[in-house]
Every structure is written in C-alpha cells, then in structure tokens.
Amino acid sequence: MIEPKTIDAILEKVRKEKPLVHNITNVVVTNFTANGLLAIGASPVMAYAKEEVADMAKIAGALVLNIGTLNEENVEAMLLAGKSANKHGVPVIFDPVGAGATKYRTETAQKIVKELEITAVRGNAAEVANVVGESWSIKGVDSGDGEGDIIELAVKAAKQLNTIAVITGKQDIVSDGETTYICKNGNSLLTKVTGAGCLLTSVIGAFCAVEKDYVRASAAALAVYGSAAELAAEGIEGPGSFQIEFLNNLYTISADNIQKLSALEEVSHV
C-alpha cells in the first residue's frame, strides 16, 4: 500500500530538489515534455549529440530514452548515454514508442533493453508486449485492439527484462515482478494530446531521481499524473484547453488533491 501522504512526499521532493532529467526523446513531444517537467518541478534537458550525451547522463538525476522518432544517430546516442547512466547509478527510464509497429522499432527496443540496465520501461500494453517478444497489435504509436491480461503482462515483462514494467491505458499497472500496483487515475482526454505518454515516462524519471524505491516512485508518478488529468478535465471542452489546464494542474496539484483523488492499489498475486 502506498499512502497518499507518501505520494505527496515524493512529489514535494521533486519540487524541492528540481532533479535534472536528461531526455533523448522524439521530435513530436520535445516542447511538451520540457514544459510538463518544469510544471511538475523538475529541470529538463534535451541533449542528443554523441559528443556530450555520456557527460550529460552522468550528472542527471534520471535519463529518459524514447524511440518515438528513432534514427541510427539517436540510437547510438541512447546507448552511449545509457551506458554512462548505468556506470554512474543514474536511473534509466525507457519508452518503447511504437514497438511492434515496424521491425526496426521492435528490434531497436529489444536491443536497448538487452544492452542497458533499464530501471523502468513505460509503454502501452502492445509496446511492452512486443518488447518481450509477444505480437500484440499496434496502430503506429497508438495502442491497437489487442486484449490481454495487462497485470500478467507487466509481471512477465518485469521478470524477463529484470526491470520495472509500467503499462498504461485506461488503467495503469506497475510491477517489478514481485510487487504490483494498479492505478485507476486518469482521464480519456489524455488520449487526445500527443505526448501524454511520453511526458509520463519523463515524469516517472523525475520521481525516480528523488526516490530510490523505484516501484514506489513509478506508482506515485502514475497517481499524481492521473489525478492532475482528472482535475484538468473539470469543465473542459476539448484537447486544446485540456493540454494547458493539465500543465497548470501538474504545477498546482496539492497534498489535499492527492488525498482525495489517488486511486492506487496494490494487486495481490495469486
């Protein structure tokens, strides 16, 4: 069980410590990710050059790797940054955007999890399934129609990849293979804003930068993020104003809000 006050304490640590989050992410979501990280209290940097990524990852509180618009140059940079982060004990959060949509994405995602020690992998069910060699359907970078047990998938992925698996959608699951949480916070307007998943991956990075119990950090990030979305959606007509209100609520979400809204529960294993 993770109490709302524990979730708030991790959020307050992010706001106080303003951890540097090094992102090697995609061209679609760069600005939204940087603004979202600033709103939650972290300090974002996007750095991609192979000449500097190892140095940047070394001084960061977390490294976020995202293959949304991958190319060979970026993949090389991700591996260099990831190896530096691993060497210096910096948590590495991986977003396998679109894994399963093309052979190149699937193989690159599998190469990244093989060559690096990944602290947490965060994706939709199809992406995470494809990283572990299951072929759930995916439509470009969006989840496909595949149905399966996402709790089972998260536990399997965590064990197979020796990482924390975070699977998101209408309900979110986080598991290290032993301890598993379900988070029911969120709002469907998040599916109408591109980069809502990518930003979440970076927010998990910010939480892991300040809380070394990474399962707890990831679960807390899900509850804060989903609760901020619920607050933002109140009285909103569509995705444009929701996107702005969501940033506002990442900035203003309070202990009281978290106490009232947090819908995070531990899943008992059978």
Name the residues that contact ligand ATP, by CB under 6 A.
124, 141-143, 168-170, 172, 186-188, 190-191, 196-197, 200, 225-226
The Cα–Cα gap between 182 and 196 comes to 19
Q: Closest CB to ligand ATP among 80 and 223? A: 223
Residue nearest ligand ATP by beta-carbon distance: 197
97 binds ligand TZP (CB under 6 A): yes
Which residues 64-103 are close enough to bind Mg ion by CB under 5 A? 97
CB-CB contact of 23 with 199 (8 Å): no
Which one of ligand TZP, Mg ion, ligand ATP, none interacts with residue 186, CB within 5 to 8 A by kind? ligand ATP
Closer to Mg ion by Cβ: residue 4 or 197: 197
Q: How many CB atoms lie within 10 A of CB 162?
A: 11
195 binds ligand TZP (CB under 6 A): yes
**Side chain identity at residue 146, one-letter code:** G
Stretch that binds Mg ion, among 11-19, 110-118, 190-198, 219-227 (CB under 5 A): 190-198
Contact 100, 138 (CB under 8 A): yes
Q: Cβ-count burial of 135 within 10 angstroms (0-12 exposed, 13-18 middle, 19+ buried)?
A: exposed
96: tokens are 């396998």
CB-wise, 68 or 177, nearer to ligand TZP? 68
- β-strands 120-124, 92-95: how paired? parallel
Q: Restricting to residues 115-174, name those near ligand TZP by CB under 6 A.
A: 141
Distance CA 232, CA 246 (A): 5
